[in-house]
Structure 1
Amino acid sequence: MKFGILLTSIYDGSTPARRQRDEHAELVATAEQAGFSLMVAGQHFLGAELRYFQPVPWLTYMSRHAPSMDVATGIILLSMVNPVDTAEQLSTLDVLTGGRARFGVGLGYSPHEFDAFGVAKGERVPRFEESLELIRQLWSGEKVTFHGRFTGVTDARPAVRPLQAGGPPVWIGGQAAGAVKRAARLGDAWYSPPFPTHDELYALHRLFTDTRAEAGSRPAKEFPVRRELLIADSREDAIEAALVRYRARYETYRKWGLNGQNTPVGKSGEELREDIDQRFILGSPEECAAELHKLGAEIGMTHFVYKPHWPGLPHAEAMRQLDRFGSEVVPLLKD
């Protein structure tokens, strides 16, 4: 099992940008020392509540502070961005990191982002699938003529290509059944977000493997999983701390339009506590290690992507959680 650190935003525009940069640099450097082998950064546009720096330059800079770590976009909003630009951006990232990039992609969900890029609701999936097809062709090294519904090239053979033959592995994110089936058909892996419950995660993984088998594809070599994880001296203490984190982060998800299948939004009271219990990995280092081991043993999780940063909480708390994970959880999993 490998460990990844998620470089997410916890600040709006009122916090100095250098502070966010320096805190993320400290996170990846500490994570590398703790045995982490992956850093992940996602993408959003025009967010007022949380400031997302664009992932390719961000990961390129952060890799200077943790040069042994792989990098992954988690995720690029492929239904919105230009596929030619994205193909060359990811190729550049792969070259600059010595062939250690992974291409995490998804549809997105925020209406204000789709509106900004002029993407109609019915175009999201076809734009995504067409873009992914063109990107892979541009990474092939062969001459490409491609005329799709939304974009096209003629006799193109770009000189900007990735180090990895055929391009970085494609991790497709999403928690709805349709997104998981799309990952099975078109991706190299399904990148599971933290939103499904523990039971839903197992069911969606079965859907992924069954769909892949039905399509005649080989079993996926990687299964990256994001779960919210909180270490405390007792499970009850962990749940109480998770309530603070949940309210701060998931309220932003709701504002940005996250909804639909296997998505936790709008919960309160005792229902919220139950929701956290069903989605978070919580408790002592021993309890957290046992849950991670179970995910590896039972559904083949290869990468656990961990998010220590939460809005409203100090960076020192993120570092404390990361330190406990590296010094108390990781050794138990190695044993």
Structure 2
Amino acid sequence: MKKKLTYADAGVDIDKADKLVDTIKKIAKKTRRTGVMGEIGGFGGLFSLNTNSMKSPVLVSSTDGVGTKLKIAFLMDRHDTVGIDLVAMCVNDIAVQGARPLFFLDYLATGKLKTGTVTQIVKGVGEGCLQAKCALIGGETAEMPGFYQDNEYDLAGFAVGIVDNSKIVDGSEIRPGHQIIGIASSGLHSNGYSLVRKICFEVLGLEVDSHVPELGKTIGEELITPTRIYSETIQSLVRDLPIQGLAHITGGGIMDNIIRVIPQACGIAIKKGSWEIPAIFPFLQQAGNVEDKEMMRTFNNGIGLVAVVPEESAQEVLNRLTGSGEKAWPIGEVTKTRKNARSRVKMV
């Protein structure tokens, strides 16, 4: 073969990747916080821990992705919000254990780097980090020709936070009679999108720009709405109030996630109709003929975060939440479970 081949001939443009790093550095700089050392571009992100205010500091970590919600971004050719979803899915999982987010790293893999698309994605990651008050200190952008379809990519993220051992929220003090408070989601968040896409695009035959009167917007606008980030709300609660348990309502919905923080001797009773359900959920249920139980196990149904608190503190917690601009409702209580009970979760 006479031609001298380069990596670019195989589909990997190193020069373009290098230029993207400069753009990413500018975005990351906006998220910089105390503890960050150096800049993006090294072999690893550096973060200096200051644990002087803690007797026994514990690091809490989580990793996640955005899932098939990315398909909506591909269809709409809109990529500025999925980075927020990515941060939210990781940060919320550590925040519910009482941890304060410190830093975040992302991984983006695609068949061909497109500067505009990647910039939008990373801007979204940066916005998510600003909302969570954590620093974007590193990541990886991989160009993998022949591995992904044109104009598609995948995202993964990794978050680390810190909490004093004595202040970890682990549910161990939860008892029967404790109240369950639900905090509003922004919609679907980032779960159940395989079923969502089947209902919207196969059963109903919608396009992303189809206007849906029940929603007052296009189906694409509804489905691309980013996941709420609750870390600051949680920090405000655990700082002053007796929060015994917290649950991020993701895959598995209300049915499967709350029970993860409830002691084995206890169950939960969730009150039907005790919170506002956004229009997207009844729309999907009716269009897909989805049973109530399946809805509750697949989607958040309008509740993105749950707090479990002593009965005497429930009103104070609700006041704090509504005073900070959150929508919140008392949606149930912790119950005592019979030894041979078939289920620890009841809808009443």
Normalising by structure 2, report the TM-score: 0.22
User: TM-score scaled by structure 1?
Assistant: 0.23
Ranked by relative contact order (alpha carbons within 8 Å, sequence separation 6 or more), the top structure is 2
Q: Which has the higher strand share?
A: 2
From the two aligned structures, give the one with the greater helix fraction: 1
